[in-house]
Every structure is written in C-alpha cells, then in structure tokens.
C-alpha cells in the first residue's frame, strides 16, 4: 500500500470514529455526545484497570451495563446500571449521551436507565476513570454525576459509603439476588445516620448486624481489623455529610474489593494473580447461619453441611432453581398444605406435629402459661394460626406464621431445643412410609455390600492371594497381605515419617491410589484387639482407614467405648515429634498456635516451616488450617465429612471460620490423661504421672526384648 493510500485509510478510520452517526471506537475511555455503545463494544479506563460494557447474567440471556475489573481473569462486576431492568438484545440496545444525560435504550428504543440529572448540555462526556468510577462531566470539565454515588454491591478503594445530611440520602451497598443475578437482593450495608458505625439490614428494614462504633482505628465489634485487614479506613464528618473511605495499605500488589455479598455477609477480598482466584480476607457475620433469614421461611441452617440450608421433613424447597444458585431466601414450603379454617371433624383428622430436636428456635415466640408439653400442644392445636410450639423449663412458646432462623445444632449443644411444627395429618402416615422405605432401602444396600465383599474375598482366595492371616474384618475396611503392601511401597523404600512405634512409607496400589503405610516395629501381639479396633475405625465418623495389614498398627485410639455403635470416645495420644517446641520453660504446641492464628487472626504464613521463607499460597494454607480446625472439634457432629474435606481442599466448597478447638488446650493441660512420645533420637518429651511413666517404661522394655529376640 502506498503512503498516499495509507494516509487515506487512516483518515477514513478517524472519520468513522468521530462521525456522530457511528458507534464508539473500541478502546476509548469515554463516550461523547451522540456516540453510542452496543453489542460487544466497551470502553476501558486509561490505565487499563476497569472496563465498561454489556455483560450477560448467567444463562438467562439478560444483559446489563456494568463495570468490571479488566485485569482479573474471573470476570468480576463492581457496578451495574440497570439492575432492575435488563435488556434482551445487546446489539440493538444502546448506551449513549442524550441532552447531557447518559441513558440506556433497549431494543425498542425505550429508556430503561438514565443518570437523570437536571443538567442539559450538548458537550457532556462520560469518562471511565482508572479507580473504577464512571463520571459524567459538563463542558467545563466539572463532574455532575458519578457512579460512586450510586454503588451496587461493591465498595471500591477511594469511594465513599456515607450519609448526606442535606438530602437525608444514604449511599447503600445492596447485594445481588444470587451469584448470577444482579437484581437487588435482600441485604444492604449502610452508614447508621445516628452514629459512626455500619449496619446490615435485611429486606431494607430489619437490622441484623452492626459494626460497633468507630474509635479512630477499628470498629468496636470488629477487633480483628487491625490484624487482618489490607485496608486503611478513614472517617469524615462535616456539617453536610458523614462517610467512610478506605485505601489499600500497599497498593502495588493488590487488587481488592469490599462487597455486600448475596450470602448476607460483608466480605473483604483480594485477587491472587498467581492462582487466579479471589481470596477471602474477612467476612461478617462470620458464619452464614448467623445471617438473618438466610435459609428463608421453614429453612434450617447447618453451618457444616452442604448445602448450608435444608428443608425439614414435610417441607420442600420453594424455588428449586434458586437453591442451585445458593439463593435460599425463598425458603421451604409444605409438601401438603394445611386445610385452612377446618376443625377436627369426622371428615378431617386433626393436624399433627412433627418433632424436630436439637434446634435453635425461631425468632419472636409468644409465651403462654402452661405446665406441660401436652398443654402447650393443645393451645397451639386450638389456634389455626399457630404453626409451631416448644415447651422447655415450664415455659410454652408458640409461633404464628412462617418460621425463620431455625438452625440445626449439635446433639450436645445446650442451646438445642425440641420444636414441634404443625403438619397436615396425612404427613404422619407419609413419614412412616418414608422411614419404612428408607429402612428397606438401607437393608438392600447392606445386603449388596456384603454380597460384593463376599464375592471379592472368594475371588481373592481363588487367585491364591490369601495369606495365613487374611481373615475377614467387620466394617468397611479391606485387608491386604504383607506382600501386597511390600510391593506397593517398593519394599518400604520411601519413608514419609517416623513415629514412636514405627515408620510411615509411601505406596501406590495397582489402581494408582496413593497410600501411606505404617510399619510397626514392635511385638506381634494383641492381633484380635487390633482387628476389633480396625473394625471400629471402619464405622466412626471420620472414615479415614480404607486398608490395613496386621505386623502395621497404632492408630492412636487410646480408649474405645463399646463395639456396637458408630462413635468412639478417645483421648489424643501418639507421636508428637517436631510439632512441639520448648521455649523459656514453656511448651509451644504447633496445632494450638496455628488454631490461634486462624481463630483470632494473624500472619497465616508465619506458621509455616521457616525453611519455606513464607513462600506459599495464602488461600491454600488458610483452607488447610481452617479445615484442620474443623476436623478436631470436640463435637463430632460438626466435623466435616471426608467428602466435604476433599471439596474444600479442591476449592469447590468455601470453608467458614471454625470455632475455637478447645480440646487442643486440654491436650496440653490434662496431665492425667495425655502421654507424648518423640522419635528415637529424643527422650520422652513429657510424661504425666510416675504411674503412667512406669507403664510406658514397661512397654519399652517389652519392645527392646522383642528386638533382642529377632
């Protein structure tokens, strides 16, 4: 192409870009009068931090004008213009300046959103700034409107969330309806007009959380701010307004945001570029079960289950599709509706009451003076508007209308109560059917499992793989021969660690399953007891043991209570090793220190092995430590299942902040029960009493004698 032709081409291109009858040129940071943006066209802030354009909401084929992070691979929208009025066709819809206002026209050229200023100008311009603020300026470059004054669910560094004293207007963060729908949700965050604190409201009215007063450094109800936050907050109050702003402590490595999440929690997040994920720094309320009405009417929250919300027996999810998007606000509905207004006649049986134990009771009970459960039930049954009752400590509580904020608690939680919820009389027989079907189904499964295990065992014996000690074991574990494990571990060649009674080796089964094998270096006795213990392990809450081989023992079961049930009571014994340090006469136990960092906030990377130089993925370390704290809770009912643990570690499930594992301190303090060992190169690190010491020395004597006899 000749120079003259090139010059002509460039001129034509520039002309197309600036002709008022054409659309916006891609890559610009502004929209001027009579230009428009549609389809896949966007504008990008001058520094490349933010982008504005049409985006699609999930799979709904609805389109919105929004601003999102340009440098974040996981498209994250921080502001939405037309939250309540999406358009259906982004190619025939337009965002343009008309008479000094920025307006969005749908496919029928109907106005669905506008900046709605009184300013009229033919020279206005809309500019996307590098801080994520969309500003509308007049001909003299004065800002007459900005998106930061009308936030969606996200609070960006530098922007205000405050209160205008002149107009009595709040800048409010409003959650999305769910993860895929930017429609305004149920939760809002705003500055309390009566004081320097933030509050979360449910359904624009009910106050469900407040930050506490600002003392110049932190909010009184958020003491962890000084330890864990990446932000510096500043409070300003004048005659005309009061507001908070925040800035990043160190701007260079961070992309961060503060959101009012659809879960009902406010969250502080930062983008980890090395793993391409958002990392949760902090949230409040700390658990989703603390969020008001999170599971909706008749929904039950369980902090350690997945999903978090479920419906009671006799109820079903009101909006199943919403539940798949983690939007439980629609709650549950009765499977069989109550017959409104009818009394107990020959043509209608009396309503029944479903019994639901270990529950946190709903809000706003009405107290009635009766002295028995039967009397409480009778009062509720006689009033059709009564939907539930509970009787405890000579007090009768009844509820009318829908029930909110029920929570499933652990069996040993003193706050757990029994609630009786009104059901249609037919539900009683249906429940009996469900129980019967469940029992029959369970029996069939058991029969199939037993038949399968028998077939496998028979096939193994036919193949000549059975050994002299290859006897069936009760439970769900499978026995392996010594030769099997010798092959899997390459003759016990790769040692993973060493304990008081043996070493642990890495192995790989024929199906590529990676295993850890502990090879006992002690006497071969108590095999029957060991098999009983293995059987018990196969049934306890955390089913960690899948295989075992006799001459390989010591699973750390200090006490087994009975053989006929699925839970065992244990104290913690076993190898302590390098998890403990002696400093200035005090014992520093690593799990305790790690738990304190997780619960109270602190430098998560500071608990790593010093040899790592704090080089690790913060999100992964946090996940591991949090799930570890959940796994060692004293109450086994709130420990996660192994399936949940795998999902958490894979990043499929979020993990909430765990309760303080009090058992760790007991582990250190209770000298009547706990005995620790170190590896062979060290003496006993700690003993409890002279009697226990004598027992341990006796056991060591037996082991030494056994080695001499080998």
Two tokens, residue 86: 């999406």
> Residue 580 belongs to what H/E stretch?
strand 580-583
Dihedral pair phi/psi, residue 190, rounded to 5°: -150, 160
How far apart CA 71 and CA 53 sit, in angstroms, is: 15
Q: What share of the chain is helix, strand, coil (3-state, %, to 5)?
A: 25, 30, 45
Residue with tokens 């002299």: 468
Please give the annotated binding residues, written as ranges: 519
CA atoms within 13 A on the CB side of 435: 8
Two tokens, residue 12: 């034509």
Task: Give the three-class secondary structure for 269.
Answer: strand
How far apart CA 177 and CA 179 sit, in angstroms, is: 7
β-partners of residue 586 are 583
- How buried is residue 375: exposed, middle or buried, by Cβ count under 10 Å (0-12/13-18/19+)? middle
Q: Are strands 36-37 and 94-98 parallel, antiparallel or unpaired?
A: antiparallel
Q: Are 160 and 240 contacting, i.e. CB atoms less than 8 angstroms apart?
A: no
How far apart CA 445 and CA 22 sit, in angstroms, is: 68
Q: Are strands 198-202 and 181-191 parallel, antiparallel or unpaired?
A: antiparallel
User: What distance separates the 2 farthest-apart alpha carbons in the chain?
Assistant: 102
Q: Are strands 143-146 and 134-137 parallel, antiparallel or unpaired?
A: antiparallel
How far apart CA 170 and CA 661 sit, in angstroms, is: 41
Two tokens, residue 601: 């906030």
Report which of 158, 246, 254, 260 is spatially closest to residue 209, judged by C-alpha positions: 260
- The Cα-based distances of 469 to 461, 520, 548 in angstroms read 12, 16, 12
How far apart CA 232 and CA 254 sit, in angstroms, is: 13
Rg (CA), the chain: 32
Q: How far is CA 178 from the centre of its chain?
A: 15
Segments in 77-235 forming alpha helices (H) = 225-228
How far apart CA 636 and CA 641 sit, in angstroms, is: 10
β-partners of residue 136 are 126, 145
Q: Are 181 and 191 contacting, i.e. CB atoms less than 8 angstroms apart?
A: no
Report which of 684, 710, 303 is spatially closest to residue 699, judged by C-alpha positions: 684
Per DSSP, 204 falls in state T
- The Cα-based distances of 424 to 313, 341, 589 in angstroms read 12, 13, 55
How far apart CA 79 and CA 314 sit, in angstroms, is: 41
How far apart CA 329 and CA 318 sit, in angstroms, is: 9
Question: Can you say whether the dihedral through the CA atoms of 8, 10, 13, 18 is positive or negative?
Answer: negative
Please give the annotated binding residues for ATP, written as ranges: 519
How far apart CA 453 and CA 476 sit, in angstroms, is: 9
Q: Are strands 332-334 and 315-317 parallel, antiparallel or unpaired?
A: antiparallel
Q: Are 321 and 334 contacting, i.e. CB atoms less than 8 angstroms apart?
A: no
Question: Can you say whether the dihedral through the CA atoms of 639, 642, 644, 650 is positive or negative?
Answer: positive
């Amino acid at each position: 192409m000749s120079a003259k032709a090139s010059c002509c081409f460039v001129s034509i291109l520039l002309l197309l870009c600036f002709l008022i009858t054409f659309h916006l040129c891609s890559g610009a940071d502004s929209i001027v009068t009579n230009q428009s943006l549609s389809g896949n066209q966007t504008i990008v802030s001058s520094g490349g931090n933010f982008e504005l354009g049409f985006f699609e909401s999930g799979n709904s084929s609805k389109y919105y004008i929004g601003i999102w992070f340009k440098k974040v691979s996981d498209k994250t929208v921080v502001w939405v213009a037309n939250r309540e009025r999406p358009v259906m066709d982004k190619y025939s819809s337009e965002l343009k300046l008309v008479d000094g206002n920025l307006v969005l026209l749908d496919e029928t050229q109907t106005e669905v959103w506008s900046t709605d200023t009184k300013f009229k100008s033919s020279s206005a311009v809309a500019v996307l700034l590098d801080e994520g603020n969309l500003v509308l300026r007049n001909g003299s470059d004065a800002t007459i409107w900005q998106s930061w004054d009308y936030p969606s669910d996200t609070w960006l560094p530098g922007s205000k969330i405050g209160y205008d004293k002149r107009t009595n207007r709040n800048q409010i963060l409003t959650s999305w309806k769910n993860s895929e729908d930017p429609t305004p949700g149920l939760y809002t965050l705003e500055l309390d007009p009566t004081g320097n604190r933030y509050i979360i409201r449910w359904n624009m009215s009910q106050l469900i959380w407040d930050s506490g007063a600002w003392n110049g450094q932190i909010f009184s109800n958020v003491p962890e701010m000084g330890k864990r936050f990446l932000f510096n907050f500043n409070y300003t109050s004048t005659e005309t307004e009061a507001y908070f702003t925040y800035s990043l402590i160190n701007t260079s490595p961070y992309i961060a945001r503060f959101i009012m999440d659809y879960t009902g929690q406010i969250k502080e997040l930062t983008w980890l570029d090395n793993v391409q994920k958002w990392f949760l720094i902090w949230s409040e309320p700390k658990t989703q079960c603390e969020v008001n009405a999170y599971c909706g009417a008749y929904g039950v929250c369980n902090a350690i289950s997945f999903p978090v919300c479920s419906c009671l027996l006799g109820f079903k999810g009101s909006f199943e599709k919403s539940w798949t998007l983690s939007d439980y606000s629609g709650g549950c509905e009765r499977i069989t509706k109550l017959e409104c207004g009818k009394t107990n006649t020959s043509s209608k049986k009396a309503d029944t009451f479903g019994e639901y134990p270990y529950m946190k009771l709903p809000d706003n009970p009405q107290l009635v003076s009766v002295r028995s459960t039967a009397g409480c039930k009778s009062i509720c049954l006689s009033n059709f508007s009564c939907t539930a009752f509970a009787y405890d400590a000579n007090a009768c509580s009844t509820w009318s209308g829908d029930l909110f904020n029920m929570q499933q608690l652990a069996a040993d939680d003193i706050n757990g109560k029994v609630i009786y919820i009104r059901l249609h009389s037919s539900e009683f027989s249906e429940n009996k059917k469900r129980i019967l079907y469940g029992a029959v189904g369970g029996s069939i499964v058991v029969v199939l499992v037993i038949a399968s295990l028998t077939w496998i065992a028979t096939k193994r014996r036919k193949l000549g793989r059975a050994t002299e000690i290859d006897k069936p074991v009760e439970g769900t574990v499978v026995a392996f021969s010594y030769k099997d494990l010798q092959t899997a571990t390459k003759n016990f060649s790769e040692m993973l660690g060493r304990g008081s009674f043996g070493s642990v080796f890495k192995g790989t089964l024929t199906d590529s399953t990676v295993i850890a094998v502990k090879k006992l270096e002690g006497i071969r006795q108590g095999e029957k007891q060991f098999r009983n213990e293995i059987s018990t392990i196969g049934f306890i809450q955390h089913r960690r043991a899948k295989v075992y081989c006799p001459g390989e023992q010591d699973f750390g079961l200090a006490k087994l209570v009975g053989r006929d049930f699925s839970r065992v009571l244990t104290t913690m014994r076993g190898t302590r090793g390098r998890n403990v340090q002696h400093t200035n006469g005090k014992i520093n136990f690593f799990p305790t220190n790690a738990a304190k960092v997780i619960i109270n906030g602190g430098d998560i990377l500071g608990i790593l092995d010093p040899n790592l130089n704090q080089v690790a993925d913060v999100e992964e370390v946090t996940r591991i430590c949090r799930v570890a704290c959940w796994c060692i809770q004293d109450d086994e009912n709130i420990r996660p299942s192994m399936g949940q643990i795998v999902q958490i570690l894979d990043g499929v499930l979020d993990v909430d902040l765990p309760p303080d594992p009090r058992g760790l301190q007991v582990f250190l303090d209770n000298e009547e029960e706990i005995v620790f060992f170190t590896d062979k190169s060290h003496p006993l690190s700690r003993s409890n009493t002279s009697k226990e010491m004598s027992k341990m020395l006796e056991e060591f004597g037996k082991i030494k004698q056994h080695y001499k006899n080998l």
